[in-house]
């Protein structure tokens, strides 16, 4: 396991930072995304609002958004590379668990997430105001982190299983990667959304950790007490992860039976 993780990290840094310069290109691209996201806030936010609080809401929104985007594209893209290069077939023949590669990619994904959130924080501080964040309850904070990491892992594995089944992006990938995380309160508190949207959002596992995280860091209003957010959200996140693992198991069983799918474009 240690060997696989080390090799995955070494290959990533050699390819992205030294040979292809993908690290720096991605960093420039995300900086442009940051300007586009922060620009309307700087230009159009009401002067009556506390700038630091507004910047705090913006930072948490980008934290949740970037988390889901990282979970969406990192593992899916890596799986497509493994399919295209034949690495996945070699791993299956060798009897090596695919989850070793998943674990090996985690440090890279977390590194990118920290860089992205840190860059947004820097841009907000320079262009608008320093974000106001305060951990009101450490236990709730770590509970929210555990919930969101569980949902992120399930999200990533489920999209990966979809890639394994079809070899390309499809309606399941697009629906899960873009629509659900945003429509379920990823960018704004559910309390500010219409009641119908709240009902739909609470029917997904994505809304509970986002609501709890915003409440802990910003004292944002929530649509239900925090104990109920944990009572409903934590089992839901675990059930989502178990479902994702089961779907992955089925996808690999299908590959062993029928072979790997043809690789298509996104």
- Model confidence pLDDT, tens digit, residues 52-110: 888 888 888 888 888 888 887 777 777 777 777 777 777 777 777 777 777 777 777 88
Burial (Cβ within 10 Å: 0-12, 13-18, ≥19) of residue 66: buried
Q: Does position 177 have pLDDT exceeding 80, yes or no? A: no
Given a contact cutoff of 8 angstroms between Cβ atoms, the answer to whether 75 and 176 are in contact is: no
Confidence band for 266, pLDDT divided at 50, 70 and 90: very low
What is residue 96's predicted lDDT score, i.e. its pLDDT? 75
Comparison of pLDDT for 138 and 168, the residue scoring more: 138
Q: Does position 264 have pLDDT exceeding 60, yes or no? A: no
Please state, in angstroms and rounded to a whole number, the distance separating the CA atoms of residues 192 and 231: 22
DSSP-H helix ranges across 86-170? 87-94, 98-127, 138-166
189: left (phi over 0), alpha (psi -120 to 50) or beta: beta
Chain centroid to Cα 41, Å, comes to 23
DSSP state of 224: S
Give the three-state DSSP class for 120.
helix
């Amino acid at each position: 396991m240690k060997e696989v993780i080390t090799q995955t990290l070494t290959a990533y840094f050699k390819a992205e930072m030294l040979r292809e310069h993908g690290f720096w290109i991605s960093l420039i691209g995300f900086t442009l995304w940051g300007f586009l996201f922060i620009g309307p806030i700087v230009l159009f936010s009401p002067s009556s609002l506390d700038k630091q609080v507004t910047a705090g809401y913006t930072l948490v929104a980008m934290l949740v958004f970037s988390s889901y985007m990282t979970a969406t594209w990192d593992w899916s893209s890596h799986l497509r590379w493994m399919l295209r290069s034949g690495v996945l077939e070699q791993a299956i023949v060798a009897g090596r668990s695919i989850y070793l590669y998943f674990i090996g990619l985690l440090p890279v994904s977390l590194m990118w997430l920290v860089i992205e959130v840190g860059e947004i924080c820097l841009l907000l501080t320079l262009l608008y105001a320093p974000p106001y964040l305060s951990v009101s309850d450490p236990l709730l904070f770590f509970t929210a982190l555990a919930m969101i990491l569980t949902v992120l892992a399930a999200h990533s594995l489920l999209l990966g299983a979809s890639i394994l089944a079809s070899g390309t992006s499809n309606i399941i990938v697009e629906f899960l990667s873009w629509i659900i995380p945003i429509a379920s309160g990823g960018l704004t508190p559910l309390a500010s959304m219409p009641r119908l949207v709240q009902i739909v959002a609470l029917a997904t596992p994505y809304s509970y950790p986002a609501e709890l995280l915003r409440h802990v860091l910003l004292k944002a209003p929530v649509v239900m007490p925090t104990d109920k957010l944990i009572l409903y959200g934590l089992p839901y996140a675990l059930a989502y992860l178990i479902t994702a693992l089961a779907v992955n198991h089925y996808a690999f069983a299908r590959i062993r039976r029928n072979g790997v799918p043809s690789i298509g474009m996104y």
